[in-house]
Chains A and B, each alone.
Chain A
């Protein structure tokens, strides 16, 4: 049954969101991955548009300005990078070139902007919009759940999403994966709110329909995987309204009768494309040309490597099981168990409701089921399944660990929330009853409270522990059921997510390298290195090179596809072994190689 959101629900959502933001803010020491570093660069370049807008507003919208300012990284929509750049300009504390002239080269066109508020270090300011969206998402998961699945399921879903090492780690980045997850979820929520319920208890809402159209535009303006949302909605809508499609005879002859078209669909056809266009400057002057290039870029995306059970996948066919198995391995164990329980509950409810239509004997069982809006569970299930199913297609690239189906995971958590609800209901069983004497009833109540508290602790604390002890290496997390991090070595699984592990060697580099040492940062990009400088995390005299033959130190990021390179470096340097190994959980993620000086022994 739908429970309208009251003040308590909003308060809980706010507390959850602020807690999540607080946890993210307290764990910002996460290395810059390759893609984030590119978006740092893009954000910096795009932020110049605000200067043009301020100085010569008439030119800001010209093709020349757009082509110049937004030229870089056109393969992704501009909105997130515009937000990262705006946040950086407003809150970031760029270096002062008069005090540190050498810092000029760390900025686009050698010109660091003047700080405005200067509250945060630069990478944090860039990350702020994504951090806020991640926090909003937690609140939104709770609110959606509280309204349509019940408070307990909602709270469980929000907490289980918060405490996922991979998702939590991705939530730190000035990237698109968690923002698009948030917008996808908000698209689903607002759409659901805009629809009339099939049992007639909720009327269509044009206001929520407008919100749904806006949310979808923002999702599309964040990342291309949002393009799969409208087909998903259409499939679900046709399926759940299939009985309303019928042939009727009129005086004009037979025609097909349709169910009422949702307001949101009209919004998708009008507001969404307009807003999508308006928020992506590259579309202003050449929408067709740029979109053609954009779609062809993603349709022919390079296949990067993925290491999965000892096989280095480089080209199709990729294993269809990849997203499912990876999720089962990289989501905390109790959450996986609750999800499976929730899935069984969904299947049972669907089966019982279906059978009850044809078998009256089942109706009594149906009447004992929770009162839910028709179509809700299938809506949740499809929103979970479709993002996974897309990556499961053998021709879709599977690089990037688990981030490419992250937008399905909040729905997985809502289903896990149903599992949690089932567990709590089960524990209530023996202590329920109204005919007990007052003393006994009180004791039963306390017993129930104790069981409930124990359930929350046992089902949420392990996930929280796993998450908060894997903040720096969240993408290398594997749950204890599969052996923990050791499974990466034992079974041959992907260990690291492109270039971020250098962050955990910076302390070693800063402390142990002689002045002006030449360091080959391997998979860490120039854009990441200059942000490390700008944030004061890397000694400025260290000379980055991307040529180990010309370097004295090499940072080997452990990827299966790079192991030849480690062999080449070892031979070139004549070193017996790495001088520093970053190995959380005992599994090497980064080996630092140095040309031997005779003083290697730590």
Chain B
């Protein structure tokens, strides 16, 4: 065999391999019947507060068969949010049909089907969610300014706090926004202009061992060249326990764990400040864990 022949043969082998690879990729995709069977397996084991997510996270083609069950269809999995549920069904298909549970998670059951595997996992034991700020937004006290200049934002309209007359985006409320690669349910707290602080405070909270705050700028915000960096702080009383400056293009969903002792954490404040607030779409979540 001469060299050109071997070269040509190699090209043919690559082409044949390509054809086989493409068919294998197609054959791994679940059909309606497979999704239906997977949904039956999930429904037959369902308990209160369970949650469904998909692996890979984007492969939610089976969602219609799971209609009515709380599920996550975002582009990537947020294991922190998943850990708020006692059990999580991971409906897995190619190319991530056998995902590895995050550290500390327990495998309760694995149900392999033809092209789907249903995994039932539980988050690490030992911690319980005591309070989720998103579910207690109405109890928050929102204000702008500091000290004598502090003005309460006490107009609560359609689930959002406004400083005076309702404003389309200068408000504090629950929303779903794409932040750091996935849509998240967050508290929207658009920064105010000219360095005027915006504060969201909660009081009389349950006792907890840890306050976990996540924050970040929306995808839309980090795309823009406008505004100035946003300074975000967590205050226990008058003590700043977490502080971060988010650059205008800084993408991320930043986690801050604040250990609590005694009655610490029964009240806390989130303070947001920006010199120029154009497109500074700041969002956060706050959770107490016991």
Determine the residue in chain A with the shortest Cβ distance to B63: A577
In-complex Cβ contact of A429 among B5, B11, B22, B218 (8 A): B5
Chief secondary structure at chain A's binding surface? helix
Taken together as a complex, chains A and B put the C-alpha atoms of A333 and B63 apart, in Å, by 32
Interface check A602, CB cutoff 8 A: yes
> Once the chains bind, are B70 and A581 in contact (CB under 8 Å)?
no
In the assembled complex, which residues on chain A have CB atoms less than 8 Å from the CB atom of B60?
577-578, 581, 588
* Contact residues, B20-36 vs A (CB, 8 A): 21-22, 25-26, 29-30, 36
> Which of B15, B94, B174 has the largest number of chain A CB atoms within 10 A?
B15
> Once the chains bind, are A564 and B177 in contact (CB under 8 Å)?
yes
* Contact residues, A545-576 vs B (CB, 8 A): 560, 563-564, 566-568, 570-571, 576
> Once the chains bind, are A600 and B59 in contact (CB under 8 Å)?
no
In the assembled complex, which residues on chain B have CB atoms less than 8 Å from the CB atom of A333?
14-15, 18, 22
> Once the chains bind, are A486 and B95 in contact (CB under 8 Å)?
yes
> Once the chains bind, are B12 and A489 in contact (CB under 8 Å)?
no
Interface string of A31-52 (1 = CB under 8 A from B): 0000000000000000000000
In-complex Cβ contact of B68 among A341, A459, A488, A601 (8 A): A601
> Once the chains bind, are B8 and A455 in contact (CB under 8 Å)?
yes
Interface check B178, CB cutoff 8 A: yes
> Once the chains bind, are B61 and A586 in contact (CB under 8 Å)?
yes
Taken together as a complex, chains A and B put the C-alpha atoms of A580 and B36 apart, in Å, by 13
* Contact residues, A327-379 vs B (CB, 8 A): 332-334, 337-338, 341
> Once the chains bind, are A602 and B64 in contact (CB under 8 Å)?
yes
Taken together as a complex, chains A and B put the C-alpha atoms of A586 and B59 apart, in Å, by 6
> Once the chains bind, are A564 and B8 in contact (CB under 8 Å)?
no
> Once the chains bind, are A563 and B183 in contact (CB under 8 Å)?
yes
Interface check B58, CB cutoff 8 A: yes
In the assembled complex, which residues on chain B have CB atoms less than 8 Å from the CB atom of A560?
75, 178
In the assembled complex, which residues on chain A have CB atoms less than 8 Å from the CB atom of B223?
312, 314-315
In-complex Cβ contact of B66 among A310, A341, A422, A577 (8 A): A577
Determine the residue in chain B with the shortest Cβ distance to A585: B29
Taken together as a complex, chains A and B put the C-alpha atoms of A591 and B181 apart, in Å, by 19
> Once the chains bind, are B175 and A567 in contact (CB under 8 Å)?
yes
In the assembled complex, which residues on chain B have CB atoms less than 8 Å from the CB atom of A319?
none
Interface check B168, CB cutoff 8 A: no
Please tell me which stretch of A80-88, A134-142, A268-276, A476-484 contacts chain B, meaning at least 4 of its Cβ atoms lie within 8 angstroms of it. A476-484
Q: If A312-B219, A480-B21 touch, does A459 touch B11 (CB 8 Å cutoff)?
A: yes
> Once the chains bind, are A600 and B67 in contact (CB under 8 Å)?
yes
Interface check A423, CB cutoff 8 A: yes
In-complex Cβ contact of B1 among A430, A587, A591 (8 A): A430
> Once the chains bind, are B178 and A563 in contact (CB under 8 Å)?
yes
In the assembled complex, which residues on chain B have CB atoms less than 8 Å from the CB atom of A426?
4-9
Interface check A71, CB cutoff 8 A: no
> Which of B14, B36, B57, B64 has the largest number of chain A CB atoms within 10 A?
B64
Q: If A564-B218, A601-B68 touch, does A423 touch B12 (CB 8 Å cutoff)?
A: yes
Determine the residue in chain B with the shortest Cβ distance to A333: B18
Determine the residue in chain B with the shortest Cβ distance to A430: B5
* Contact residues, B161-202 vs A (CB, 8 A): 174-178, 181, 183, 185
Interface string of B66-91 (1 = CB under 8 A from A): 11111101110000000000000000
Taken together as a complex, chains A and B put the C-alpha atoms of A596 and B22 apart, in Å, by 38
In the assembled complex, which residues on chain A have CB atoms less than 8 Å from the CB atom of B175?
567-568, 571
Q: How far is the CB of A190 from chain B (nearest CB, A)?
A: 33
In the assembled complex, which residues on chain B have CB atoms less than 8 Å from the CB atom of A338?
11
> Once the chains bind, are A564 and B220 in contact (CB under 8 Å)?
yes
Interface string of B219-235 (1 = CB under 8 A from A): 11001010000000000
> Once the chains bind, are A602 and B65 in contact (CB under 8 Å)?
yes
> Once the chains bind, are A581 and B61 in contact (CB under 8 Å)?
yes
Interface check B16, CB cutoff 8 A: yes
Please tell me which stretch of A6-14, A240-248, A460-468 contacts chain B, meaning at least 4 of its Cβ atoms lie within 8 angstroms of it. A460-468
Interface check A579, CB cutoff 8 A: yes
> Once the chains bind, are B64 and A483 in contact (CB under 8 Å)?
no
Interface check B56, CB cutoff 8 A: yes
Q: How far is the CB of A16 from chain B (nearest CB, A)?
A: 21
In-complex Cβ contact of B11 among A423, A486, A580, A596 (8 A): A423
Interface check A105, CB cutoff 8 A: no
> Once the chains bind, are A580 and B2 in contact (CB under 8 Å)?
no
Q: How far is the CB of B69 from chain A (nearest CB, A)?
A: 6
* Contact residues, B247-266 vs A (CB, 8 A): none
> Once the chains bind, are B25 and A483 in contact (CB under 8 Å)?
yes
> Once the chains bind, are A486 and B64 in contact (CB under 8 Å)?
no
In the assembled complex, which residues on chain A have CB atoms less than 8 Å from the CB atom of B68?
576, 596, 600-601
> Once the chains bind, are A564 and B65 in contact (CB under 8 Å)?
no
> Once the chains bind, are A578 and B64 in contact (CB under 8 Å)?
yes
In the assembled complex, which residues on chain B have CB atoms less than 8 Å from the CB atom of A314?
223
Taken together as a complex, chains A and B put the C-alpha atoms of A588 and B58 apart, in Å, by 8
Determine the residue in chain A with the shortest Cβ distance to B225: A315
> Once the chains bind, are B58 and A587 in contact (CB under 8 Å)?
yes
In-complex Cβ contact of B26 among A312, A423, A484 (8 A): A484
Q: If A429-B5, A571-B176, A585-B29 touch, does A489 touch B64 (CB 8 Å cutoff)?
A: no
Interface check B93, CB cutoff 8 A: yes
In the assembled complex, which residues on chain A have CB atoms less than 8 Å from the CB atom of B70?
576
In-complex Cβ contact of B8 among A427, A465, A466, A568 (8 A): A427
**14 further contact pairs, Cβ within 8 A, besides A429-B5, A578-B64:** A333-B14, A425-B4, A458-B12, A462-B19, A481-B21, A484-B25, A486-B95, A489-B59, A560-B75, A563-B178, A581-B64, A583-B59, A596-B68, A601-B65
Closest 8 CB pairs of A and B: A567-B176, A426-B8, A489-B58, A426-B4, A583-B61, A480-B22, A600-B67, A577-B63
